[in-house]
Structure formats: structure tokens, C-alpha cells
Structure 1
């Protein structure tokens, strides 16, 4: 792991993510890219296009750069190479572009989560990035002074399409010498006999030569609740999931378990796009 991208809006949640990124960077001698997306009001963007309001734009840029400088000098970032970037763009576009341009290995983002009407109509920038990013994303929901990934839950249906994302998880787990807890959540709407579920997981595992792992079948009313309840029951450090990156009407009607976990789980959530 060479580069970790941390988008920041200068909030407390973004700082929680940066503190975790710093711990990972020190463990792996990685560089941190600290990115602030400057999303100007529409009226100012229109004015800039017309050649006006340049002083106002420069003022926003100057203030953002000053704040990044201040953050980069925090003690927990000592001995870490930090690259500061201020970019004018919508968050999802800018984060994706920077991630690709700099060959980022991991994005670490903070999230306050959302629920109810806010979740339905608005969603969070973190949720949108999770839906679209090809780069693995670690979502942090609270201040973690001593980040650990000793026990990682990987919840999956263990289908063929999850094999490639799982290989990325294996690379991440090797950095922390993690034990993997592979779980299939069984619900009334996705019922599968135990012997079938066990056979699917056993066949999946046999292709990777795993040693430090356990497998489970866990029953609950729905998949999201099952993942959260199971993770709590074994005191997991991180929840890992694949996301399909649904958009448009498919996303509206089907939703996404990964995005639901980003909103509702307290534990860190690590996502890999299929």
C-alpha cells in the first residue's frame, strides 16, 4: 500500500478518518493524499464562467489551502509524507479522478451516516463514492485512537463475481495479519439450506488457500441487520463487503447493502466494487 486518499470537508468526521489513515500509513510507510473538494455555489460558478468573481474564488482557494496546511501539521501526521490538493469539482467526480490519477490504493472517508428522509432523498457523499469508486474504501464512523483490523468480517453470497474483490481484501488483510470471518447471512427472503450454504462457502475458500479464517451461517430478518448483529457478536474490527455500484432506478428500488452499512453500522466498513 503506497498511497492513501483522504477526502476532507474539515469536519470532525473527516478528521476521524484522517487519524485512521495516519495509523495505516505509518504501518505501511505510505503517503497520504489530503483532498478538499471546493464545490462553489451555482451562482458563483456561473459568474466564474463569465469571467467575474475571480477574487472570491481565489479567496476560497487560499483559505482551503491554509486549512490543509494546518491539518497537515497535526502531531499524528508526523513522519508521514502528505500531499495536499484543493480541487474545484463535485465530490464524487473529484475523488474518483484523483484516485485514478495518483494510483491510490485505499480511500479512507469519514461519515456521519444518515437515516429516514435524508437517506432516501439526499444520501451522503461517502455513500455516492462507495457506489462508484473502483478503489477500495474504508469508511470510519467515529474516533478510533488505536485502529485494528485483527478480525475482519466478510459477508457475502460467495458467488463467482465476488472472487476478484475478495483478492483485494486478502491483500488488505495481510497488512494487518487479520483473521477472516466469512459469513453467509440467511434471511426469509434469501433462504438457502445450511448444507447448500456450507458447500458454497467451502468451494469458495478452496480456491484461495486460506489458513487464518472461520466460516459461519447466520440467520436474521434481513441481510444488513444480520451483518451488523453478527459483527457485534464476534466483536469484529472491520466489516468488509462487495458493492455492485447500482445507479439510477436499479439503485432506487433495490438499494445497496453496502451503502446501508455505511449509513447504519458503527464499525468501520471496507467496500470493494464488483
Structure 2
């Protein structure tokens, strides 16, 4: 990993993301690119040139001052940190920055309060996840010593998901993390028999590993009432540090997250989530 992008809005959530990015940067020798989106209104940008220049200059100076304060963190010592300020107003433009800057990973905080559905839907995080071509790591709370030993990988065992599976394995390999692919079988949504799942699972793994499936790959399926609940229950059972999810852009979230989850589950839905574009 060479470069990590962290969108910054100077909130506590973005501070949590920055701290995790710093841990990853120190482990991999990567640099961190922090991006703040000004989002100036059209009213400002349509003023005469003199007014526009003065107001833009004011906002830039204010942002630089806030950057200086926000980035004055002990955990950033020894890490190369670059700052970008853009007048972006839509989060889809983050993908353009990530591609132009050859970013390997986007790390961002979420203001979500419960469950993966609330975790993404309707938030700026969801907009980034839907449009990002690079993996996105979403952090919900402060993690001082970010470490990933076990990962639950949500999988539907469709061949189109093989590239995302490969990217996930490549991402987690330097961390020496165990990856546990899992299929959540729902009672009323595309329910499959154990035999059907076994056939699809075997086909997926043979293609993904070119016919030579490593012995340490443990694959399972479990029945549950929602994908979210199944993933979190399995992650808890495995003692996972992270849930990894392949997404199809706009189809991805609705495909993997259908329905709502209970309050008890929402209260413990704090695991980091990493998404991989299919």
C-alpha cells in the first residue's frame, strides 16, 4: 500500500478515520492524502471576480488554519501527509481524486448509529462506497491500535465477484489476516438448499483459486433472517475484526442489505467495514 486517502470534515468521525489511516501508513510505509471539500455555493461563485477571489481566499485560509490544528496529532509523526482542498460538493468526485492520485485505499468515518443499513444508506459514506473504484474502509468509532487478524467476507458465490474476492485477499495478505467467506441464506429472499450452495461455493472457489483451493480457506453458509444480522452474528462467532463486502455500485447495497435489523444488533454494529467494487 502506497497511498491512503482520508476525506476530512474536521469532525470527530474523520479524526477516527485519520487515526486508523495513520496506523496503516506506519505499517506499510504509505503516505496519507487528506482531502477537504469546501462545497462553496453557486451564490459565492457567481459573484464578480474580485468578490469571488476574496471570498475563495478567505475560505482557503480558514481551511488551512483548521488543517494545521486538525493534523497536529502525535500519531501522524513520521508520516508523509499531503493536503488537498477542492470545491467539490458531491462525494462522487472523490473517486476522481483517488484515481488521479493512484490511491490504494479510502478511509473514512461514518456518523451511522446502527446496523449496516443505517451505516450506509442516506449518508455521504454510502455515496463514496457506491462510486469508488478503490476499496473503502469505513470506521464508526475510535480504534487506537487498528489491527485486523480475522475478516468475514460477505459472498454470494457468483463468479462476477471473483475479482473483488481477489482484491480482498491481496489487501489482507500483508496483515496476515484469516479470511472467512460466508454466504447468508435468507428464508424468503433467494433461498437455496445446502446442495445448491455447496455447488456454487465449490465452483466459485475453483475459479477464484484456479482449481487449487488452499486448505486454510474456510468457507461456510448460515441461515438468518437478514443479511446484516447473519453477517454480524457470524463475525461475532469468529471474533472478526472487520467485515468485507463486495458492492455493485448502486445495486450493491440493496443486494447485500435488505430489511432492517434489531436494536440489540444495532448496538453492537460497530465493526469496521471495507468495501470492494465488483
TM-score normalised per structure 1: 0.88
Render the CA deviation track for 1:151-171: whole Å, top value 9, x for unaligned. Answer: 000011111110011111011
Do structure 1's residue 239 and structure 2's residue 238 form an aligned pair? no
Match of 1:81 in 2: 80
Alignment of 1:1-274 (within 5 A): 1-47=1-47, 52-113=51-112, 123-188=122-187, 189-206=189-206, 207-208=208-209, 209-246=213-250, 255-257=254-256, 265-274=269-278
**1:107 to 1:155, Cα distance in 2 relative to 1, 3 A:** same
Give the Cα separation in 2 of the matches to 1:62 and 1:4: 24
1:65 CA displacement: 1.5
**1:82 to 1:104, Cα distance in 2 relative to 1, 3 A:** same
1:93 CA displacement: 3.7
**1:212 to 1:60, Cα distance in 2 relative to 1, 3 A:** farther
Give the Cα separation in 2 of the matches to 1:67 and 1:260: 40
1:191 CA displacement: 1.1
- Which sections of structure 2, spanning at least 5 residues, go unmatched? 261-265
1:202 CA displacement: 2.7
- Give 4+ residue runs of structure 1 displaced > 4 Å after superposition: 258-261
Render the CA deviation track for 1:89-118: whole Å, top value 9, x for unaligned. Answer: 1241431121011100000010011679x9
**1:135 to 1:237, Cα distance in 2 relative to 1, 3 A:** same
For 2:17, what is the secondary structure of its paired residue?
Answer: helix
For 1:174, what is the secondary structure of its paired residue?
Answer: helix
Give the Cα separation in 1 of the matches to 2:85 and 2:23: 23
Give the Cα separation in 2 of the matches to 1:105 and 1:59: 32
RMSD, matched Cα? 2.5
Render the CA deviation track for 1:216-255: whole Å, top value 9, x for unaligned. Answer: 1111112122112221222210100111111xxx78xx83
**1:15 to 1:61, Cα distance in 2 relative to 1, 3 A:** same
Give the Cα separation in 2 of the matches to 1:258 and 1:167: 22
Give the Cα separation in 2 of the matches to 1:212 and 1:82: 37
